[in-house]
């Protein structure tokens, strides 16, 4: 127990304790947008050493569960900034989980123009929650090599977006420190452990490809 609650330090990451919150899809992202309710939810859990967010889609085709967030539109990025700001304000750390639902999806959950895709035209067993209740998974369209390259590119783009969020957060924190709005000494020990130029931000991608 003592060890669980002790700080963790590495070259890349410092955590206040060793408790990591597992990714949990909550299906609260109406319109696939991270919102105030999600910011509150994650802020309330910021005392974990590290939060891993719910699975977050890198593209419209990856949104096959009901009301899951994405990170490919500006509105979604702005929504995630609210979430990370709220967690950072409570001195928490948060990683995003990039998740494409692939064939474990239902078309009723997808936005217009998106489709259920998978490695083969074989439907997944089981059912998926939809706005019309539980439905069997649909038949995916078999991905072409072009689709696979496109999906890879979507993951890369989302990871880069997260880096942008990270940089934006760093600028905000720098401005806040400059304005003295962060209490004196906050993060000082953390800063002291890092050399300039080291990656010490908390919003970095965790990838999960189905």
Ligand X SMILES: Cc1cc2nc3c(=O)[nH]c(=O)nc-3n(C[C@H](O)[C@H](O)[C@H](O)COP(=O)(O)O)c2cc1C
CA distances from 163 to 48, 93, 120, 160, 205 (A): 22, 15, 32, 5, 8
# residues near ligand X by CB under 6 A: 9
Confirm if 68 and 25 have CB atoms less than 8 A apart: yes
Q: Is 24 in the site for ligand X (CB under 6 A)?
A: yes
Which of 1, 4, 22, 145 binds ligand X (CB under 6 A)? It is: 22
Q: Which stretch binds ligand X (CB under 6 A): 12-20, 22-30, 33-41, 109-117?
A: 22-30
Subset of 165-204 contacting ligand X (CB under 6 A):
none
Range 63-92, binding ligand X (CB under 6 A): none
Length of the chain: 210
Of 46 and 96, the one with the shorter C-beta distance to ligand X is: 96
**Comparison of 99 and 165: residue with beta carbon closer to ligand X:** 99
In this chain, which of 23, 182, 200, 207 binds ligand X, going by CB under 6 A?
Answer: 23
Our CB check for ligand X shows the closer of 8 and 129 to be 129
Site for ligand X (CB under 6 A): which residue of 49, 55, 64, 92? 55
Task: Measure the CA–CA gap between 103 and 123, rounded to whole angstroms.
Answer: 7
User: From the list 54, 154, 162, 201, which residue makes contact with ligand X (rule: CB under 6 A)?
Assistant: 54
CA 76 to each of CA 5, 16, 37, 82, 111: distance values in angstroms, whole numbers, following the listed order: 33, 28, 14, 10, 14
The answer to the question of residue 28 lying near ligand X (CB under 6 A) is: no
Piece of the chain touching ligand X by CB under 6 A; list 16-24, 85-93, 146-154, 183-191: 16-24
- Residue 25 makes contact with ligand X by CB under 6 A: yes
- Identify which of residues 97 and 176 has a Cβ nearer to ligand X in the complex: 97
Nearer to ligand X, 54 or 154 (CB): 54
Contact letters for ligand X, residues 94-123 (x by CB under 6 A) = ---x-x------------------------
* Footprint of ligand X (CB under 6 A): 22-25, 54-55, 97, 99, 208
């Amino acid at each position: 127990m003592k060890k669980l609650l002790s700080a963790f330090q590495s070259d890349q990451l410092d955590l206040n304790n060793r408790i990591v919150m597992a990714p949990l899809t909550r299906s609260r992202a109406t319109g696939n947008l991270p919102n105030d309710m999600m910011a509150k939810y994650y802020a309330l859990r910021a005392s974990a050493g590290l939060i891993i967010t719910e699975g977050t889609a890198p593209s419209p085709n990856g949104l096959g569960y009901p009301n899951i967030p994405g990170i490919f539109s500006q509105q979604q990025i702005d929504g995630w900034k609210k979430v990370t700001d709220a967690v950072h304000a409570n001195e928490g750390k948060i990683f995003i989980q990039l998740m494409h639902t692939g064939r474990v999806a239902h078309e009723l959950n997808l936005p217009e123009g998106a489709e259920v895709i998978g490695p083969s035209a074989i439907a997944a067993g089981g059912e998926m929650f939809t706005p019309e209740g539980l439905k069997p998974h649909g038949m995916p369209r078999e991905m072409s090599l072009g689709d696979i390259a496109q999906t890879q590119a979507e993951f890369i783009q989302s990871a880069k977006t997260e880096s942008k969020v990270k940089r934006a957060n760093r600028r905000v924190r720098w401005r806040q420190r400059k304005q003295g709005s962060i209490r004196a000494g906050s993060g000082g020990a953390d800063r002291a452990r890092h050399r300039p130029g080291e990656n010490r931000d908390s919003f970095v991608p965790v990838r999960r490809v189905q």
